[in-house]
Amino acid sequence: MPWCDSCAKYYAPNAMRPDGTCPTCGRSLATSGSLRAEARALGVDDPTVVKKADGTPKAPWHFKVMVVAVSIYLLWRLVQGIEWVVHRL
């Protein structure tokens, strides 16, 4: 999304002037170059992101650890919930 620093506003691509400048202050906004920088900031085409053979980014190891930890925690809470229900019967 094109951002204007001087106006502190986001502009839809079709809200900009045809030459890609800000409709309010005339400052040059998003070019394909800044879109590439945005993509880099989002981790797309980041050389540090490990990719699988089909080109999709591989989940980082700490994400998998977190998923496993959350699964164990939720399973434990489920056990506690079942115990709570059983004790009330």
Total residues contacting Zn ion (rule CB under 5 A)? 7
Binding residue for Zn ion, selected from 10, 24, 37, 76, defined by CB under 5 A: 24
Give the DSSP H/E element, type plus range, for residue 10: strand 9-10
CB of 6 or CB of 71, closer to Zn ion:
6
CB of 7 or CB of 20, closer to Zn ion:
7
- How far is residue 37's CA from residue 34's CA, in Å, rounded to a whole number? 5
Q: Encode burial over 38-56: b for 16+ CB neighbours within 10 A, e otherwise.
A: eeeeeeeeeeeeeeeeeee
CB of 23 or CB of 60, closer to Zn ion:
23
Asked if 30 is part of the footprint of Zn ion (rule: CB under 5 A), the reply reads no
